[in-house]
Structure 1
Amino acid sequence: MKVVIADDHAVVRSGFTMIINFQEDMEVVATAADGIEAYKMVAKHRPDILLMDLSMPPGESGLIATAKIHEDFPDTHIIILTMHDDEEYLFHVLKKGARGYVLKNSPDEQLVSAIRMVHQGGVYIHPKLASSLVREFVSHDQQADESNPYQLLSTREIEILPLVAKGYGNKEIAEMLHISVKTVEAHKAKIMEKLNLKSRPELVEYAIKKKLLDF
């Protein structure tokens, strides 16, 4: 199995590379430090598995990259690496095409098992979150929770909101995300409208409360 690892911490990339390369049936063919580089490595190597960190620096988060890579390279199965055992993160990344969700503090054997399971066509969810997923599917016909930002906002809006909350200006955000200033302004207006927010302090408070600053 060819594997690509995307994480913004070099020590994490090195550690996971050692674990994976120790397996007789696995090989890390490339690593990446952000979402943009992850896309390029997948395009170049066409791996079987991509281990994707969810929270990477501004430029392109794992969330955005997951959606793009799943759409353009459906044969590469994506496993999310994260510190967040939050069901909102889980539901959103699965909807964006991820096939696995592994916590970074999991034992080595769980990571290896997740890779093998996903490669064989299965889905791996950390045991701590499995019950939440079952409840979600059982109640799938219920109305969307209007307090859930992942239901209300688009993927791009979820990426822009924390940057605004952190104090970045329109031009800075546009450069980070490789979009126009007018596009940033339009997304900001939509965010404020959808969330019924009137000011930046309200937006910051919302972002903290919903853990969106982790992106």
Structure 2
Amino acid sequence: MNLKEHYSNLYDSSIEKIKNDTYEIDDLIESKNDNRFGITLLLRPSEAVKANIQTFLSELKAIEPNQYYYESSDIHITVMSIISCYTGFQLNQINIQDYIEVIKQSLIESPNIEIRFKGLTASPSCIMLQGFMNNEALNSLRDNLRQNFQNSTLEQSIDKRYAIQTAHSTVVRFKNKLEYKDAFLKTIETFKDKDFRTFKVNELELVYNDWYQKEALVEKLFQFEL
């Protein structure tokens, strides 16, 4: 996959939908009755990179305060959605140790993964950071996870929604109608090619999570050192 082209196409089509008021508003993001949960293998950017992201988000918040902005604690890149969030899923339905063992079998020795967040992309419902990988280790790990979980009898929903190949990170979700759309989009355009810097990936987290990876609802199940 040509990531740059993929991100650019997503950006162009999604920004057009925002301009035309055909973007999507998430009605569940503040709901107390949302009990969609799953388990995810993810990675998190460095504190320095998260600080750069928050500087950008603060500019958007000043224009559109009534949207959903990710806290630093919640910002992540999905390595693999192992059980995609669904209503009623609970940890007592599975044996966590079995999942940990399959992931351990899938890890790559000395992967030397670095991610560079440079520029923005979007979907009809959110604004995302473009993530670029320095090598193919992350996608090789994903391929190992696909094969090893498919060869197991464990509950999983890998690739059911889409086959993940990117290193993007969602940082804004629309939860209300944009009141100052033109100013909001102008700021997005200003940061379109912003370099949020590079970070080295030293660990992965297996978490039990809600749809939005809110810290208060996320439970870390295991940490894998790379």
Give your verdict on TM over 0.5: no
| TM-score tier after normalising by the smaller chain length | under 0.3
Higher strand share: 2
Instruction: Please report the TM-score for the alignment, with normalisation by the length of structure 1.
Output: 0.24
Higher helix share: 1
Instruction: Flag the structure with more relative contact order, 1 or 2, with Cα contacts below 8 A and sequence separation at least 6.
Output: 2
